[in-house]
Amino acid sequence: QVQFVESGGGLVQPGGSLRLSCVASGTISSLSTMGWYRQAPGKQRELVASIQWRTGSTYSAGSVKGRFAISRDNAKNKVYLQMNSLKPEDTAVYYCNRDGGYYSWGQGTQVTVSS
């Protein structure tokens, strides 16, 4: 069972940037698609961005395209989410996981965008 620890969240003003990090407790399979997900209060968890572990091919949801970028460090079993031009609607708890929730969800990291 792989566990994830997310970090890097915080309070930021609209237009600001944050870089989230996720570290896995074990080796991530090359077959995995790792994703960053978010859940705002009263809303369902949604996929924000994903990256295929072996090829590095990425996907971004329409709401964050051009603002967020996902990347990985295979050797360190880490996934990153660079978030730029943040908006209040990006406020949520952000999680990482494999393939839509293959493993148990971690604690997540809170991102609050507010002036």
With a cut of 90, say whether residue 112 has pLDDT above it.
yes
pLDDT value of residue 1:
85
Q: Could you give phi then psi for residue 25, rounded to 5 degrees?
A: -75, -15
pLDDT in the model for residue 53: 95
What are residue 23's DSSP bridge partners?
5, 78
Chain segment 46-92, per-residue pLDDT in tens: 999 999 999 999 999 999 999 999 999 999 999 999 999 999 999 99
Exposed/middle/buried for 114, CB within 10 Å: 0-12, 13-18, 19+? Answer: exposed
pLDDT tens, position by position, 14-30: 999 999 999 999 888 88
